[in-house]
Structure 1
Amino acid sequence: MHEHTQRICDFLSEINLPYKLHSVEADTFLPGLKTVMGTLYIDTDKLMYPGDILHESGHIAVCEPIYRKQLHEDVYKNGLKNGREKQAMHAEEMAAIAWSVAAIQHIGLPIEVVLHQDGYKGASSNLIDAFKSGGGLGYPLLDAWEMTCPKAGFPKMKIWIRERRWINE
């Protein structure tokens, strides 16, 4: 197993995010990764970029708790079938990016591991610049869901798995 993959899996174990090292036979959006009923399956033989583990884990971590177990294969297709709103799912996409950036910094690996050149539809360098300059996207949602540390703010996290459903619960 690649050193980055091992460090990322150790982190997932530390925060109790459900994952399994498991063969992934079908073609998937990200090679070697598949979400099965809220658990991330990781096929280390097919995985191309260890940072993709964090992005997919971010989807699980920031998903509304009541929907987490429904995350299965194509998160967007199945989410819409299960009554989730498209806007909420797009918001969670942005939050998953911010979550993965906070996670990679917590682990102590370069941001380029998660925002690699072949990801994010060619926008990875723009995202890297934005996060490195204190901008970025998605982290206000992490604040709203009380996942970041109140005084330190992003990228310091208070909790790694979302517990709250809405901002004013």
Structure 2
Amino acid sequence: MAGWPRVSHEPDDITPRILDFLRRIGVRVSTADLPGKSFLPGIEIEAGGLRVDPSRLQHPGDLLHEAGHLAVLPPDQRCQQGAEVSNDPAQEMMAIAWSWAALTHLALSPEVVFHADGYKGDAQWLIDTYSAGTFIALPMLQWIGLSADPSHAEALGIAPYPHMIRWLREEEATHDAIEH
């Protein structure tokens, strides 16, 4: 994939950048020993925030995906989110799109988030699809007020997705600001 910066996949190189970004955008992050089993090694969602065990974290990009799940929830649901994230396909698609925007913002290689161990074998397909400019779930991110497609972005005088208007969903009806 020409044009994408190649970065180390070592947690010591990427994890601090990701954690700093998440904290700056308002995702609560804490470090802790997480000896138990979790859905993704070294990461737990607790009370709307992320708990991270850097010694067990296998893929730093998983932090962006899990944060994406939190980011697309309305604030009242986000603060109540526990370890089990929704298996709602729409929320999963929005978390993927949010993750792409975040890795683009951080100038990370897509493989940092979309690694071979995740996405039920579809990581390369997701990389190819997003790299080709087919932004699955962009209409949903636009609906909740996080980003805009090119025509809406032009009308608003902002950059289009993967640029984000905001990183965290606000109230339920934020789509009103980006209607036709």
Deviation per CA, 1:83-136: give whole Å up to 9, x if none.
xxx7xx321111011001100110111111001111100000000000000113
TM-score of the aligned structures, taking structure 1 as reference length? 0.87
Partner of 1:140: 139
SS of the equivalent of 1:34 reads strand
Measured in 2, the distance between the counterparts of 1:42 and 1:12 equals 12
Partner of 2:89: 90
Measured in 1, the distance between the counterparts of 2:137 and 2:112 equals 18
* Deviating 4+ runs (over 3 angstroms): 166-169
Larger radius of gyration: 2
Structure 1 unmatched ranges of 5 or more: 77-85
Structure 2 unmatched ranges of 5 or more: 1-10
Partner of 2:56: 46
Partner of 1:18: 28
Measured in 1, the distance between the counterparts of 2:49 and 2:76 equals 14
C-alpha deviation, 1:168, in angstroms: 4.5
SS of the equivalent of 2:30 reads strand
C-alpha contact 1:146 1:164 (8 A) present in aligned 2: no
C-alpha deviation, 1:72, in angstroms: 0.4
RMSD: 1.6
Partner of 1:155: 162
Partner of 2:110: 111
Partner of 1:34: 44
C-alpha contact 1:143 1:153 (8 A) present in aligned 2: no
C-alpha deviation, 1:141, in angstroms: 1.0
SS of the equivalent of 2:79 reads helix
